[in-house]
Amino acid sequence: MMGRISTTARLIATLVLALCFAACGGIQNAINPAGPNAENISRLWWLMFYVCSIVFVLVMIALLLALRKRTVEAADRVPVLEPPEESERRRRNVVISLTTITVIVLFVFLIASYSSGRSLRLNDPTKNGLSIDLTGHQWWWEVRYNDVDASNIFTTANEIHIPVGVPVMFSLRGADVIHSFWVPNLAGKKDLIPGKINTIWLQADKPGVYRGQCAEYCGLQHAKMALWVVAEPQEQFNAWRQNQTQQAVSATSDAQKRGQQVFFSTTCVMCHAINGTPAGSNVGPNLTHVGSRHMIGAATLVNTREHLAQWIKDPQTFKPGNRMPQNNLSDADLQALVEYLQSLQ
């Protein structure tokens, strides 16, 4: 019976493993590193994974071997209270050796962990690096790019662009509750704790889009508080950054002008800022360049006209419990507003 069970167990294990590894790879994946931090951690992961797997298999083999003598005899066999000295001594030696090996393996892990941790510390981050202040709100990310020159400082939301190959230093703050900034492809996570400033640096070595998600339970919409990190070549990044420091594009077409009117005369202006206009509230995400963002609602919906219209009309269907109220606008007003917002590139 034991043999049959082993086979079944083995089959099941194989099936499960196969399915698991089928899902390997992709964005928001900790073992698909795209930067030195994640690469470092990924190496540590594979070391520990292989060693632990070997240990597990060996322990299971030992257990199965211990079970090889089976019986169906009743319970009143005479118990062994004085096992032979020789076999006890052998067992003791084996247990002591295995314990010693355990200690050695643990030391190996410890040293690997420490050296990995040391490599995660950046020696001189500000040399040619970038400094970003990230503030976590319920349930969106406020991103502020710092610069020595004050006119280059700007604020955006939920989408971070970084140049490839350059270390970026993040200063993390929590505005309300504890959040956690986590972009698995690039680095481990750090918490954003109100009252404290936490720091993390990360770097992307390949251009691409990396999805990150809040990793500390922060209330109703913790599940949909995500962000995009877009790594692009230095020139593209510079162009993007230059654009972001500009004030909002003025409304040109009739539809856009009407949309701007709608923006100022309804609830939008109470919470959202558009630089270069009288709208200056920092309760919600800054919309100065919302048209250029890939996603809306903290990486909940792709930023298309249709999604934007649905989102504005009733954000609660997509993200129930979030702070943006429903807006009962007429169809024409809604379309004009969307037209205006999409023009804010």
Partner 1 sequence: MSHEQEQRNISHKKAQKAQKEAHADQGLSTTISDEELAEAMRQEREELEKTWARPGGVWGWFTDTDHKAIAKRYIVTAFVFFLLGGIEAALMRIQLAFPENHFLNPDRYNQIFTTHGTTMMFLFAVPIMTAFGIYFVPLMIGARDVAFPRLNVYGYFVYLIGGLLLYTAFFMNTGPDAGWFAYVPLSGPAYSPGKRVDIWAQMITFTEISALVGAVIVIGTAFKMRAPGMSLNRIPLFVWAQVVTAFMIIFAMPAVMLASSFLASDRLIDTHFFNPAEGGDAILYQHLFWFFGHPEVYIIFIPALGFISPIIVTFARRKIFGYVALVLSLISTGFIGFGLWVHHMFATPIPQMGQSFFTAASMMIAIPSGVQIFCWIATLWGSRLNIKTPLLFVLGFFAIFVLGGLTGLMLASVPLDLQIHDTFFVVAHLHYVLIGGSVFPLFGAFYYWFPKWTGRMLSERAGHLNFWLMFIGFNLVFFPMHQLGLNGMPRRVYTYLPETGWGTLNLIASIGAFVLASGVLVFIVNAVWALRAGIVAGDNPWGADSLEWSIPSPPPNYNFHNIPVVQGRYPIWQATADAPIVRGLNTKKRETLVTSVMDAQPELRFDIPGPSIWPLMVALATAVTFIVGIFTPWAFLFGAILAGITLTCWFFADPNYENKQARETGQKSEHVAPRAELQPKEV
Partner 2 sequence: MSDIRPGVGGLPMPVQNPADQHAFDANEGKRLYSQYNCSGCHFNGGGGIGPPLMDAKWIYGDRPENIYSTIVEGRPNGMPSFRQKIPDNQVQQLVAYVRAMSGQLRKDVAPTRNDTMNARRSEQRTERKTPLQTTEPPQ
Cα distance between residue 192 and residue 99, in whole Å: 40
Residues 77-96 that bind partner 1 (CB under 8 A): 77-81, 83, 87-88, 91-92, 94-95
Cα distance between residue 39 and residue 48, in whole Å: 14
Q: Taking CB under 8 A as the rule, which mask of x and - marks residues 53-92 in contact with partner 2? A: ----------------------------------------
Residues 136-155 that bind partner 1 (CB under 8 A): 138
CB-based burial of residue 337 (10 Å sphere; 0-12 exposed, 13-18 middle, 19+ buried)? Answer: buried
Contacting residue, 16, 52, 270, 332, with partner 2 by CB under 8 A = 270
Q: How far is the CB of 146 from partner 2 (least distance, A)?
A: 24
Q: Which two tokens stand for residue 115?
A: 């050296």
Residues 41-60 that bind partner 1 (CB under 8 A): 41, 44-45, 48-49, 52, 55-56, 59-60
* Coil, helix or strand at residue 312: helix
Please name the residues in contact with 257: beta carbons below 8 A apart, sequence gap of 6 or more.
Answer: 251, 340
18's contact among partner 1, partner 2, none, with CB below 5 to 8 A by partner kind, is none
Residues 173-212 that bind partner 1 (CB under 8 A): 174, 176-178, 180, 182, 184, 187-191, 193-199, 211
Q: How far is the CB of 147 from partner 1 (least distance, A)?
A: 24
Q: How far is the CB of 265 from partner 2 (least distance, A)?
A: 7
Contacting residue, 266, 277, 335, 342, with partner 2 by CB under 8 A = 266
Residue with tokens 């001189």: 124
Please name the residues in contact with 171: beta carbons below 8 A apart, sequence gap of 6 or more.
Answer: 131, 132, 133, 134, 197, 198, 199
Is 326 a binding residue for partner 2 by CB under 8 A? The answer is yes
Contacting residue, 6, 93, 265, 317, with partner 2 by CB under 8 A = 265
Cα distance between residue 60 and residue 82, in whole Å: 28
- For residue 173, the cross-strand partners are 135
Q: Judged by CB, which is closer to partner 2: 138, or 213?
A: 138
- Segment near partner 1 (CB under 8 A), from 66-74, 147-155, 238-246, 329-337? 66-74
Cβ atoms within 10 Å of 284's Cβ, excluding its own: 18
46's contact among partner 1, partner 2, none, with CB below 5 to 8 A by partner kind, is none
Is 316 a binding residue for partner 2 by CB under 8 A? The answer is no
Q: Give the count of residues interacting with partner 1 (CB under 8 A).
A: 103
- How would you classify the pairing of strands 226-232 and 208-213? antiparallel
* Coil, helix or strand at residue 199: strand
Residue with tokens 């919906």: 301
Q: How many Å is the Cα radius of gyration of the chain?
A: 28
Residues 237-296 that bind partner 1 (CB under 8 A): none
Is the Cβ–Cβ distance between 143 and 155 less than 8 Å?
yes
| 247: Cα within 13 Å, side-chain hemisphere | 8
Report which residue type is found at 21: F
Residues 151-210 that bind partner 2 (CB under 8 A): 176, 194
Is 169 a binding residue for partner 1 by CB under 8 A? The answer is no
Q: Which residues bind partner 2 (CB under 8 A)?
A: 176, 194, 265-267, 269-271, 281, 283, 325-327
